[in-house]
Structure 1
Amino acid sequence: MDTREHLWSLLGVAAKVELFHTLHEQSVRRDPVLAQWMQNQPMKVLRNAGHWPRLVEITCWVRDHATAALYLRQIDVPGVDTKFIENNKGILSELLDHSLPHERIQTGAPRSDFAARYGFRSKPAYIRLRYLGSPPGPFSEFTVRATELTSKPAGICTVFVLENEVTYLSLPPVPDAIAILGSGYAATQLRHLPWLADVDLRYWGDIDTHGFAILSQVRARFPHTRSLLMDTATLLAHQEHWGEERSQTSETPRYLIAAEAKLEQSLRNGTYRPRLRLEQERIPIRAVVQALEGVRYEDPRST
């Protein structure tokens, strides 16, 4: 082989080499630093050749703009929308990691959270709550940004956190109390509400390994949290409503009291039935009313 061109021709890649050179020359004019990365990753460039110019433009746009007050939706590059960014987060992360100054990259954020990693505003967390006693105003229920719910609602002493919407809506009256809908892993939302440390906090989730994992996470942040209807007596009293947990969590809950930990291990080991679960919405309302009648306010500062 006398020249590289002869070699490219023999290998049948002459068109790909020419395409790479074209993309590289275009990129050099927009971002010389990015062009250096391209020299070390030619195959990645070629795999994304169909939309490479847009990837470069996004990288340069982020480089040239302050992003702290912006959502990804506000990236203003022709031919680019949030779907395009979502579909190309992997390659965009590599380009941005190479092109941005180190201080522009939030290394503490997980790589899966593209917006947080590159300093964009993330979708806000919302708290949905319902008054179980007499509401202080015209609304018995409302949804608010978690970061704006900075203080305890007036007159509230007890807070119930539930994962199931129907159970949340049908919870019977309790004086001076509110219910918060957790909608999945509640701890991710409750971290925004430091005032929960000053209320009698009760968590009620499914009796399964995921339910106890969530309880443990909530209690890790708020140690005074107590569970509701998540005990062996409740489980055994409602055998006709038993179901099956499709997949048990691999998480080992660290913040359970002894009775809760024993029940969680029984579920994990299949003591009563393999992958047993009792969903909270399957517990009859009369049992819920009875349990709530037994709830007495306790000052968290005394526990």
Structure 2
Amino acid sequence: MRHPAEVLEQVRVRYRKNWRDWLLHADETAFSFPLAAANAQDIARDSETVGQWLRAWRNWSEAHPAAQLRTATRRTVIGPQEIITHLDVSTITDLVALDENLNDHWRRATARWARLATLPGGLVTERIRPHLQQIIDLDDADFEILIKSAVWFTENPRSGLTIRQVPILGMHTKWLARHRRLILACLNITENPHVSSDQPDEELEQHDLDPLGLKALPVHIDVILADPADRARVGGLRHLRAPLPEIDALPIRPETVMIVENKESAYLVPDQPRTVVIHSLGNHLNVLDDIAWLHVARHLYWGDLDRAGFLLLSRARARLPRLASVLMDPNTLEEHKALAVEDKTQADPPLSNLTDTETSALAALSTEQGNCVRLEQERLPSPFVLDRLGRAM
């Protein structure tokens, strides 16, 4: 015999499985939940327990008038007995009224679907379906931006604007990175398989923006000209930040290019003939493919001694197979482990192109307690760094 709490869980399971179909196809339907009612033998054997069960259902029914209890008569040795066999519900509205959370979710879903259904151009239900839960979970402000964005991009499919030029209050780079796929679904635009993962801290690239008719800002590259002769060719500038095509066009031919993860550490690199430093690329390592003078040079990489640092190293090496790491070895970590801190961040595993030394250093980041540590490159003492960089260069 199923008790009200058990059947309510069945109601929740059926709702979670089917609410999108009910919302998209608006099929009114009736619902029935069998209660595994007692048979004649059960009633005769333990009529007291069956009686308590019946009273529990009748008390529950009084608090839920939209639900109906279906009954049947059982012929028993103690005479005919009326028993409850099913919980019947006539409509979806009555179904969700059985649970406050379901009721809130359904009311929110129907209200938002009514707004979505009025978008210009109509919606392809199978494209919007995978995103419905995320749309329902949006707070009210983000949902309003989504609706306004879908209308604006429908009316301006090839605007050529940058993200911040779009005249929608609240639209900015991180918002679009987080919600771009929802907009595409509202516009009935099929997603390209190679586009980014829509993480809020990632900068959108041009192929992410093409379906929306937007223009990405030029990618800027930070470089340090460590060779005084190279600086003389650009008016004496040592630190440059410029769009990728201008960096590619620099009149330089370095023998060594050092890629440094962070800006502060890059500033430590001393002057060195025919040497250029590229720094602060983050995840934008694809730009390495488009700098011609880089590919005829020797390549060095210096990053943080942490899981993210080794991930970036492996991704850079995938583009520059001859890339050698500096200050990313077990000895550096061991000698300065007192400067390390606990690493609670998440990072994907690196590609399978780390050297044995790098793999050992990565393994040494894990503690006996199962935690991880990180040693940021800025924390290493300058004399030690300058000595090791001098040897490498």
Which amino acid letter does the alignment assign opposite residue 59 of structure 1? A
Q: Are 2:175 and 1:74 equivalent residues in the alignment?
A: no
What pairs up with 1:227-242 in 2 under 5 angstroms? Answer: 227-236=325-334, 238-239=335-336, 241-242=338-339
Post-superposition CA distance 1:232-280 (Å, at most 9, x none): 33334x3375312423634144111122212222323659x96344332
When Rg is computed on C-alpha atoms for both structures, the one with the higher figure is 2
Which amino acid letter does the alignment assign opposite residue 220 of structure 2? Y
1:86 maps to 175
Identify which range, 156-165 or 249-258, moves more after superposition. 249-258
1:130 maps to 224
* Offset at residue 54 of structure 1 (A): 6.5
Equivalents in 2 of 1:234, 1:69: separation in Å?
49
User: Gaps spanning 5+ residues in structure 1: where?
Assistant: 1-6, 297-303
2:299 maps to 201
Q: Are 2:187 and 1:99 equivalent residues in the alignment?
A: yes
What pairs up with 1:183-194 in 2 under 5 angstroms? Answer: 184-185=282-283, 187=285, 189-193=287-291
User: Gaps spanning 5+ residues in structure 2: where?
Assistant: 1-90, 98-102
What pairs up with 1:251-270 in 2 under 5 angstroms? Answer: 251-268=349-366, 270=368
May I ask how many residue pairs the two structures share in their alignment?
281
Equivalents in 1 of 2:300, 2:181: separation in Å?
41
* Offset at residue 50 of structure 1 (A): 8.0
Q: Are 2:263 and 1:165 equivalent residues in the alignment?
A: yes
1:215 maps to 313
Which amino acid letter does the alignment assign opposite residue 97 of structure 1? A
- Secondary structure of the corresponding residue to residue 202 of structure 1: strand
- Secondary structure of the corresponding residue to residue 122 of structure 1: coil
Q: Are 2:376 and 1:279 equivalent residues in the alignment?
A: yes
Equivalents in 2 of 1:274, 1:8: separation in Å?
49
TM-score (norm 1): 0.70
Post-superposition CA distance 1:179-199 (Å, at most 9, x none): 121254463553543543221
1:112 alignment partner, one of 198, 207, 224: 198
Which amino acid letter does the alignment assign opposite residue 281 of structure 1? E
> Are the counterparts in 2 of residues 241 and 282 from structure 1 also a CA contact under 8 Å?
no
> Are the counterparts in 1 of residues 310 and 350 from structure 2 also a CA contact under 8 Å?
no
> Are the counterparts in 2 of residues 182 and 189 from structure 1 also a CA contact under 8 Å?
no
**Which structure has the higher relative contact order (CA within 8 Å, separation 6+)?**
1
* Offset at residue 47 of structure 1 (A): 7.9
Q: Are 2:31 and 1:31 equivalent residues in the alignment?
A: no
* Offset at residue 218 of structure 1 (A): 0.8
> Are the counterparts in 2 of residues 34 and 95 from structure 1 also a CA contact under 8 Å?
no
What pairs up with 1:141-160 in 2 under 5 angstroms? Answer: 141-151=239-249, 153-160=251-258
Equivalents in 2 of 1:263, 1:85: separation in Å?
34
> Are the counterparts in 2 of residues 246 and 275 from structure 1 also a CA contact under 8 Å?
yes
Equivalents in 1 of 2:173, 2:315: separation in Å?
35
Equivalents in 1 of 2:385, 2:177: separation in Å?
48
Equivalents in 2 of 1:71, 1:188: separation in Å?
21
2:151 maps to 60
1:288 maps to 385
Identify which range, 114-123 or 194-203, moves more after superposition. 114-123
1:226 alignment partner, one of 320, 324, 342: 324
Equivalents in 1 of 2:221, 2:173: separation in Å?
30
> Are the counterparts in 1 of residues 145 and 171 from structure 2 also a CA contact under 8 Å?
no
* Offset at residue 48 of structure 1 (A): 7.7
1:180 maps to 278
Equivalents in 2 of 1:84, 1:294: separation in Å?
42
Equivalents in 2 of 1:8, 1:232: separation in Å?
62
Equivalents in 2 of 1:46, 1:261: separation in Å?
41
